[in-house]
Structure 1
Amino acid sequence: MRRVLHMIRKEFLELRQEPRLFGIVVIAPIVQLTMLGYATTTDVRDVPIVVVDEDRSTPSRELIERFEASDTFHVVDSVSSLRGIDAYLDHGDAWMALSVPAGYGERVRTGQPAEIQLIADGTDANSTTVALGYAGALTNAYARELGVAQGRGSPAPMVAADVRVWFNPSLESGVFMIPGILALVLLVVTTNLSSMAIVREKELGTLEQLNVTPLARWELIVGKLVPYAILGMVDAMLVVAVAVGWFEIPLRGSFLLLLAMCLVYLLTTLGLGLFVSTVSKTQQQAMMTTSFFFLLPMIFLSGFIFPIENMPDVIQPFTYLLPLRYFLVILRGIFLKGIGLEVLWPDALALLAWGLGILALATLRSTKRLA
């Protein structure tokens, strides 16, 4: 028993000598619990909607004001015709469009059944289903109030909602999740492998041998990362093939654009992995640093599972620091909406800047540490 206690004490002493490992074990869980506890919510609130009021009457304004006053919806803009909603739904600036047709007010005033139209972005099936449920309940409550105000004997709703869902009409959750899995696979595989590339050479003692060769520092880094970039592109094509061929996920956009964006994304994942290798002494440290400080926050805060719009306002600014956020918008835009760079260029530019920045920083640190 004494020998066992001695070994336990020895392990704790070694842990004290590794402050980075101590930070991973103690500090990282507290930070993650704090951030993810606020971010991981299935509640739907502040759903951005765009309004088309072709009637411009008092009843139509009253209905729109009901949506504005709700905690669930947030009116981002008003357009003159249904053609104006395309840009909002394509860009993701609005999840839903509320259209009030001409003649709505007259039908309400005369006690005739009236109809409005709700057009929803079905990309995120779960959030869309909840938001449509809230919209339907709000419309029905307003319609019943109209019936009571007009002295109708029956509380039957006077206003009906014609619901249309774009991009994912059947509201299948897999259509939303599977394109994101492509991003997750590339993130996990290439970041972990590249983070251990230099560290493995340190542990095996072969890094010193490479330092005395005519091989330049940048050549060593490129030679280490290119194989993982190739593996990443192979994985990307395999995942796309399975997603389209087996799971029947629609690929409505350009396949070449998709591959190009995957290549840009690999700049960020490989650069991130290389950066981790410069702050890690062992492969175990590299894997734990990657998992605790990068992979988990990206999965929960990027919009992969939980919509960013539903997160607390204090958390949302941090999501702009995550490359996965931009790549998910690009992937779902190409797969489900069939849009191109004319719409996706802001996210593509942000992803490219992130990739070049982290790769340059990681290369600079690697060069100094290898020197």
Structure 2
Amino acid sequence: MNWRRLWAIVLKELRQMRRDRITLAMIIGIPVMQLVLFGYAINLNLRGLDAAIADQARTAGSRALVMDMLATGVIEPVAEAGTPRQLMEALRGGEISVGVVIPADFERRRLDGREAVQVLVDGSDTVVQSAAIQLARMPIGDPRPRLAQPPDAGGQVNGAGGQISVVSFYNPERRSAVNIVPGLIGVILTMTMVLFTGVAIVRERERGNMELLIATPLSRSELMVGKVLPYAVIGLVQTTVVLALGMWLFRVPVQGSLLDVYLASVLLILANLTLGLLISTRAQSQFQAMQMTFFVFLPSILLSGFMFPFAGMPTVVQWLAEVLPLTHFLRLIRGVMLRGAGLWELWPDVLALVAFTVVMMTVAITGFRKRLD
């Protein structure tokens, strides 16, 4: 072992690392990102769940109960509803996660000690389902929000004169696989599609094929679209495999149209492929492309709502998560597969994925030059 030669190699690697700005940024960026995401953005104590309240009684007691529920901070009204049917339509369309029904005979039910209030919950997210049960612990008729005895097996609690019941839809058994498997379609497509196209242009450059492509009459647009289409077929194959195994092994239902499931998957595939192309036009080597892919993949997993509840994140982090394609796909796929919604009912997320794809493809085509330098 010659220590002088060994030290020369160490210095050479350090100098090369210093010149590689992407690697240098990853050395600092990954620890900072993990610290901020895990320490600040991820919150398992859910507050501010999107809700709507149908107060059909409109009495002093019902209004006091509504104020007590809002005071807990568990729910936050974001939509108006006058009937339970309207609440169900809002739940199905993903507008709200919790609906509260106070019937017209609320006062009589409270006096008789019967079920006086129903809390309707989107059970496709088991974490939201658990958080909403906190509302059932509130005693009816007491203006001060306080915890009573835990709910029974049916989600009911005897309050001060009545009962609050929690009714879970779309996943009454609270099986985690029902929530996880649809999300896994998006996670797998995000990881593979971005990575595949992230190294596409760089690989051509490193293998010397770029010289041949430059000599052809291909335009930049034709080259980029041609790179994307084969991987789109691969993405559909992956979607089919995950979907079939999920239905067979974990008995995950498909309440909506199977065509809508594939259309939602196509939207995510195209969004991820164009993002990968943008990475490929910016990276100087396949190693850099993989680093940049990981830099995108980590926030997608942590902030999209796949692993941790979206409602528990700070507002600024939620704004950042809205930029990620996986965030919108999770709303689409869970809405279609678990709630039976159609894509037309979830049009804001459809438009978000289409806009992301158009912007990323435009930037990638603009930034690509048919040159070797």
- TM-score by length of structure 2 reads 0.89
Aligned in 2, Cα 1:271/1:159: closer, same or farther, shift over 3 Å?
same
Partner residue of 1:126?
Answer: 127
Kindly indicate whether residue 68 of structure 2 is the aligned counterpart of residue 66 of structure 1.
Answer: yes
TM-fit CA distance, 1:40:
1.5
Structure 2 gaps of 5+ residues are: 147-157
CA contact (8 A) 1:302 1:325 kept: yes
Bigger Cα displacement from structure 2, 212-221 vs 20-29: 212-221
Moved more, 314-323 or 274-283: 314-323
Paired residue for 1:49, among 44, 48, 51?
51
Instruction: From 335, 350, 357, give the equivalent of 1:355.
Output: 357
Shift of 1:145: 9.4
Residue 345 of structure 2 corresponds to: 343
Give the 3-state SS of the residue equivalent to 1:171 in structure 2. coil
Partner of 1:197: 200
1:333 touches 1:339 (CA, 8 Å); kept in 2?
yes
* Structure 1 CA distance for aligned equivalents of residues 368 and 329 of structure 2: 26
Aligned to 1:137: 137
CA-CA distance at 1:28 after TM superposition? 4.0
Matched with 2:117 is 116
Aligned with residue 283 of structure 1, among 283, 286, 290: 286
**Count of aligned pairs between the two proteins:** 360
Partner Cα separation in structure 2 for residue 310 and residue 369 of structure 1: 47
Deviation at 1:370, TM superposition (A): 6.2
| Cα deviation 1:276-329 (Å, max 9, x = unaligned) | 01111111100011101x111111111112222211122121122111111111
Which letter does structure 1 place at the counterpart of 2:232? A
- Change in 2 beyond 3 A, CA 1:113/1:206: closer
Aligned equivalent of 2:303, options 295, 298, 301: 301
Match of 2:313 in 1: 311
Find the residue that maps to 2:253 and give its secondary structure. coil
Q: Name 2:174's counterpart in structure 1.
A: 171
- 1:151 is aligned to none
1:328–1:369 Cα change, 3 Å:
farther
Distance in 2 (CA, whole Å) between partners of 1:303 and 1:156 is 33
Alignment partners' CA distance in 2, 1:355 and 1:145: 47
- Aligned-residue sequence identity (percent) comes to 33
Q: What CA distance in whole angstroms lies between the structure 1 residues aligned with 2:324 and 2:45?
A: 22
> Deviation of residue 332 (structure 1)?
0.5
Kept in 2, the 8 Å contact 1:143–1:159? The answer is no
CA distance in 2, matches of 1:259, 1:317: 27
Q: 1:219 to 1:287 in 2, by over 3 A?
A: same
C-alpha RMSD of matched pairs (Å): 2.4
CA distance in 1, matches of 2:79, 2:342: 24
1: distance between equivalents of 2:191 and 2:43?
24
3-state secondary structure, aligned to 1:93:
coil
How far off its partner does 1:49 sit? 2.2
Aligned pairs (5 A) from 1:248-263: 248-263=251-266
Cα separation, 1, equivalents of 2:136 and 2:282: 53
1:224 counterpart (213, 227, 230): 227
User: Matched residue of 2:308: which SS?
Assistant: coil
- CA distance in structure 2 between the partners assigned to 1:209 and 1:78 by the alignment: 61
The one of 187, 190, 195 equivalent to 1:187 is 190
What is the rounded CA distance, in whole Å, between the counterparts of 2:371 and 2:261 in structure 1? Answer: 35
CA 1:79–1:211: 2 relative to 1, 3 Å:
closer
Confirm or deny: 8 A CA contact 2:136 2:165 kept in the other structure: no
Counterpart Cα distance in 1 of 2:136 and 2:291 = 46
Query: Partner letter of residue 343 of structure 1?
Result: E
Deviation of residue 31 (structure 1)? 3.8
Shift of 1:77: 4.1
> C-alpha separation between the residues in 1 aligned to 2:109 and 2:223?
74
Q: Which residue number corresponds to residue 242 of structure 1?
A: 245
- SS in structure 2 at match of 1:50: strand
Is the aligned partner of 1:207 residue 2:210? yes
Retained in 2: the 8 A contact 1:44–1:72?
A: yes
Q: Pick closer, same or farther for the CA change 1:223–1:54 going to 2, 3 Å.
A: closer
Instruction: Give, in angstroms, the shift of residue 14 of structure 1.
Output: 0.7
Q: Residues 108-131 of structure 1, C-alpha deviation per residue, up to 9 Å, x if partnerless?
A: 4x5644522111110111221132
Q: Distance in 2 between matches of 1:66 and 1:190?
A: 47
Contact 2:121 2:167 in 1 (8 A): yes
Structure 2 CA distance for aligned equivalents of residues 268 and 23 of structure 1: 25
> Structure 1: any 5+ residue segments left out of the alignment?
147-154
State whether residues 116 and 164 of structure 2, in contact with CA within 8 Å, keep that contact through their aligned partners in structure 1: yes
Listed one character per residue, the Cα deviations across residues 146-204 of structure 1 (whole Å, up to 9, x for unaligned) are 9xxxxxxxx97522122211111111111111101001111111110111111111111
1:99 is matched with 101
Counterparts in 2 of 1:9 and 1:131: CA distance versus 1, 3 Å: same
Q: Which residue in the other structure is 2:273 paired with?
A: 270
Deviation at 1:139, TM superposition (A): 3.5
| Structure-1-length-normalised TM-score | 0.90
Change (3 A) 1:157 1:23: same
Is contact 2:122-2:128 (8 Å) kept?
A: no
Please identify, of 259-268 and 22-31, the stretch whose mean Cα deviation from structure 2 is larger: 22-31
Instruction: Return the letter of the residue paired with 1:327.
Output: F
One-letter identity of the residue aligned with 1:358: M
